[in-house]
Chain A
Amino acid sequence: MIQSLGWLVFTVGIYWASKQLYRFFPKVYLTPLLVAPVVVILSMSISGATFDQYDEGAGWLTKLVEPATIALAITLYRHMDILKKNAWAIAVSVTAGAVLAIVTSAALAIGFGLDPSVMESLAPRSATTPIAISISGSMGGVPTITAVATLITGLIGLMAGPLIVKWCSIKSPVARGILFGTSAHSAGISKALEYDMVTGSVASIAMMVTAFVTLLAAPWLVGVLSSLA
Chain B
Amino acid sequence: MKNLFKTAAQVVFFIILAEVSDVIVAKLYLPVSGSVVGIMLLFGLLQIKAIRMEWIELGSKWLLAEMLLFFIPAAVGITKYKSLILHSGMVIFITIFCSTILVMVLAGILGERMVRGRREEAQ
Contacts and interface: CB of A to CB of B under 8 A. Distances in A.
A189 B71 CA distance: 13
Interface in A8-30: 11-12, 15
A200 B12 CA distance: 23
A104 B53 contact: no
B28 interface: no
A68 interface: yes
A128 B51 CA distance: 27
A225 interface: no
Contacts of A77: 43, 46-47, 53
A112 B95 contact: yes
Contacts of A152: 92-93, 96
Chain A binding surface, main DSSP class = helix
Nearest to B35: A69
A165 B57 CA distance: 29
A221 interface: no
A58 B72 contact: yes
Contacts of B99: 100-101, 104-105, 108, 125-126
Residue from A68, A85, A100, A183 with most neighbouring chain B CB atoms (10 Å)? A68
A169 B85 CA distance: 35
The contact size tier of chain B is 35 or more
Interface in A100-126: 100-101, 104-105, 108-109, 112, 114, 118, 122, 125-126
Interface of A: 11-12, 15, 31-33, 36-37, 40-41, 44, 51, 54-55, 58-59, 61-78, 85-86, 88-90, 92-94, 96-98, 100-101, 104-105, 108-109, 112, 114, 118, 122, 125-126, 128-131, 134, 144-145, 147-149, 151-157, 160-161, 164-165, 168-172, 174-179, 182-184, 186-187, 189-190, 193, 200, 204, 206, 208, 211-212, 215
13 contacts: A37-B76, A41-B76, A41-B79, A63-B15, A68-B66, A68-B67, A74-B60, A101-B99, A104-B103, A126-B100, A131-B36, A149-B92, A160-B100
Given A67-B38, A68-B14, 19 more contacts: A37-B76, A40-B72, A61-B69, A62-B70, A66-B34, A71-B56, A77-B47, A93-B110, A97-B106, A97-B110, A100-B107, A104-B99, A108-B95, A128-B33, A151-B78, A156-B97, A164-B104, A176-B108, A193-B67
